[in-house]
Amino acid sequence: MSVSLKAKIAEVFEEPGCDKNVAKSDKERKKGCTKQLNPGAAAGGCAFDGAKIALQPIADVAHLVHGPIACEGNSWDNRHSASSHSQIYRTGFTTDINELDVIYGGEKRLFKSIREILEKYDPPAVFVYQTCVTALVGDDIEAVCQRASEKFGKPIIPVNAPGFAGPKNLGNKLGAEALLDYVIGTMEPEFTTPYDINIIGEYNLVGELWQVKPLLDALGIRILSCISGDGRYEEVASAHRAKVNMMVCSKSMINIATKMEQRWGIPYFEGSFYGISDMSETLRMIAKLLVQTGAPADLLDRTERLIEVEEARAWKRIAEYKQKLAGKRVLLITGGVKSWSVVAALQEGGMEIVGTSVKKSTKEDKEKLKDILGDGADAHMIDDMTPREMYAMLRDARADIMLSGGRSQFVALKARMPWLDINQERHHAYAGYVGMVDLVREISRAIFNPVWQQVRIPAPWGEA
Ligand code: SF4
């Protein structure tokens, strides 16, 4: 591991914006946040995967993976992050190194690949990702990127997060560090307004950003840069001129928010786009901070008026489902922040939460969840649930539907119970007021799908 990578990781482990991190002793902090894995348990994505997930939604740049082809294959666009402009981000570029590169080093091949991309596609920038093998053979991607930038006159950004550096979450942060070191603050926007904000940690999965953008447009609030969903290089490079930063309910790239506050004095807050009241609260926070940083005070009134209209419209549309769904019991198996933001949304739809996983949630996430669930919250918060326990819960009909990621879908299907995908691989967008209506509609469609009646009929050979 190069010294600079070691130093970078140590830097990322010092995070003033994370309460959990601040509460640790110096010794504990140095160890990072990685938990010892259980032998045999799936480890989740590597650091490279995390960096790629965080940055690939910047849609107009070429993302070049320096390493064996499988690294790119593993991480390629598995999240349906949508773009309204360029599609180059979805092209899988890799140096696909071979045995000779391992012996002699792959720097030349990397340099040639950058040149080929620039000649054929002419993107505004190329992001170069380090992987395990090329890091181990000692390829210096920073030096190659610097040389290529000088030679071709285009930003070539090294993303030094080889897989062995740690887990996916660390990779998110190392990806964010690459933006802080080489991108943010390197360009100036054509113009600025008192209504400019950045949205950080929003990946525009299935186009969720577009469910929120019309609300901001209606208030005259401009997304100067979204990091990184539907992103443009130029916008990210000029993000330092925003008045306010919003962290989208996730600590994955909190280092961007804290460092932008230190460097450019941009205040930030953590908000959520999931659920009606959370969406309204987020709009209020944005308006409040913009007014504090110099926007005209009438923004506050305009925001309240918009919230009133939008909430009324959403409630009206939810009402028809609310009757059908009232009292339906939901088992929610997801991670981190979604444990509270989605719980609030489901309660608004009249449903009862029989259990929600808090395995990946932070202390603050758990506190928020306790507030939302009220009395007896602890009984519904599940630290770790085995597939067997999930299956038993569904089979005994203690839950009417399970909302989870794709990996646990087969548990629900085996129990012949409805299931809805709410993790990053989902195919429906659930953000903002519109997204909440869509979520309730999809739950209703899943629960009342006639297929469940049919699959529960015993098979003729079973009866015999
Ligand atoms: S762990 Fe290393 S080799 Fe495996 S995908 Fe990640 S970067 Fe590639």
Q: Ligand 1 centroid vs 132 CA: distance in angstroms?
A: 6
pLDDT at 336 over 60: no
Higher pLDDT, 330 or 374: 330
Q: Which fold has domain 326-427?
A: Rossmann fold (3.40.50)
Q: Which residue is associated with the tokens 């309910």? A: 249
Taking the C-alpha atoms of 19, 23, 25 and 30 in order, what is their torsion angle to the nearest 10 degrees? -10
Q: Average of pLDDT values for 154-180?
A: 94
- 107 CA distance to ligand 1 centroid (A)? 18
Mean pLDDT for the stretch of residues 160-180: 94
Q: Would 196-314 and 326-427 be classified into the same CATH topology?
A: yes
How far away, in angstroms, is 46 Cα from ligand 1 center?
6
Q: CATH: 2.40.50.140, 3.40.50.1010, 3.40.50.12380, 3.30.310.50. Which one for 196-314? A: 3.40.50.12380
- Smallest CA separation from ligand 1 atom 3, residue: 132
Ligand 1: residue whose CA is nearest its atom 8: 71
Nearest residue to 242 (alpha-carbon basis) of 312, 274, 195: 195
CA of 166 to the centre of ligand 1 (A): 10
User: What is d(CA 315, CA 179) in angstroms, rounded to the nearest whole number?
Assistant: 40
Please say if the pLDDT value at position 7 is more than 60: yes
Mean pLDDT, range 154-177, rounded to an integer: 94
198: β partners:
225, 245
Looking at the CA of residue 46, tell me the nearest atom of ligand 1. 6
75 versus 223: the higher-pLDDT residue is: 223
Task: Verify whether ligand 1 is closer than 6 Å to residue 163 (CB atom).
Answer: yes
Asked if residue 131 has its Cβ within 6 Å of ligand 1, the reply is yes
Domain ranges of the chain: 3-182, 196-314, 326-427
For the chain, the average pLDDT equals 88
Rounded to the nearest whole angstrom, what is the distance from the C-alpha of residue 294 to the centroid of ligand 1? 46
Locate the ligand 1 atom nearest the alpha carbon of residue 67 and give its number.
8
Asked whether the predicted pLDDT for residue 66 surpasses 90, the reply is yes
- Of the listed ranges 223-227, 240-244, 256-260, 325-329, the least confidently predicted one is 325-329
Judge if the beta carbon of residue 71 lies within 6 A of ligand 1.
yes
pLDDT higher at 458 or 88: 88
pLDDT score, position 173: 94
pLDDT of residue 333: 82
- pLDDT value at residue 231: 96
Does the pLDDT at position 339 exceed 60? Answer: no
| Residue given tokens 């943010």 in the structure block | 184
pLDDT at 153: 97
Residue of 1, 34, 37, 46 with the most ligand 1 atoms within 8 Å of its CB, for mutation: 46
Q: What is the mean pLDDT of residues 336-347?
A: 67
When pLDDT is cut at 50, 70 and 90, the band that residue 386 belongs to is confident
* pLDDT value at residue 366: 72
Residue 372: what pLDDT?
Answer: 73
**Test site for ligand 1: of 5, 34, 37, 49, most ligand atoms within 8 A of the Cβ:** 49
Give the tens place of pLDDT for each residue, 231-247.
Answer: 999 999 999 999 999 99
C-alpha span between 388 and 366 (Å, rounded)? 24
Q: Which residue has the higher pLDDT, 149 or 276?
A: 149
Q: What is the pLDDT of residue 353?
A: 85
pLDDT of residue 370: 77
In the predicted model, what is the mean pLDDT of residues 326-336? Answer: 81
**In the chain, what percentage of residues exceed pLDDT 70?**
89
Other CB atoms within a 10 A radius of the CB of residue 29 amount to 16
User: Which one has a higher pLDDT value, 431 or 425?
Assistant: 431
Q: Is the minimum distance from the CB of 48 to ligand 1 under 6 angstroms?
A: yes
Distance, CA 67 to ligand 1 centroid (Å)?
9
Domain 3-182's class? Answer: alpha beta
Regarding the beta carbon of 132 and ligand 1, being less than 6 Å apart is answered yes
Q: How confident is the model at residue 20 (pLDDT cuts 50, 70, 90)?
A: low
Please tell me the distance between residue 57's alpha carbon and the centre of ligand 1 in angstroms: 20
Query: Which residue owns the Cα nearest ligand 1 atom 1?
Result: 163
Name the residue of 1, 5, 37, 48 to mutate for ligand 1: max ligand atoms within 8 A of Cβ: 48
Confirm or reject: Cβ of 74 under 6 Å from ligand 1. Answer: yes
Task: Report the range out of 224-233, 274-283, 422-431 with the highest average pLDDT.
Answer: 224-233
Whose CA is closest to 160, among 151, 58, 145, 148? 145
Q: How far is CA 88 from each of CA 125, 148, 411, rounded to the nearest angstrom?
A: 11, 20, 37
Task: Out of 113-117, 358-362, 445-449, give the one with best mean pLDDT.
Answer: 113-117
The arithmetic mean of pLDDT across residues 2-26, rounded, is: 74
Assign 34 a pLDDT band (cuts: 50, 70, 90): low
Would you say 169 and 50 are in contact if contact means Cβ atoms under 8 Å apart?
Answer: yes
Note the helical H segments in 381-425.
Answer: 387-395, 409-414
Whether the CB of 162 sits within 6 Å of ligand 1? yes
Q: Whose CA is nearest to atom 5 of ligand 1?
A: 71
Span 62-90, average pLDDT: 89
pLDDT at 379 over 90: no
Is residue 158 within 8 Å of residue 128, measured between CB atoms?
yes
CA of 163 to the centre of ligand 1 (A): 5
Ligand 1, atom 6: nearest CA belongs to which residue?
Answer: 163
Quote the tokens at residue 280. Answer: 């309204």
Residue 6 above 70 pLDDT?
yes
Pick 225 or 351 by higher pLDDT.
225
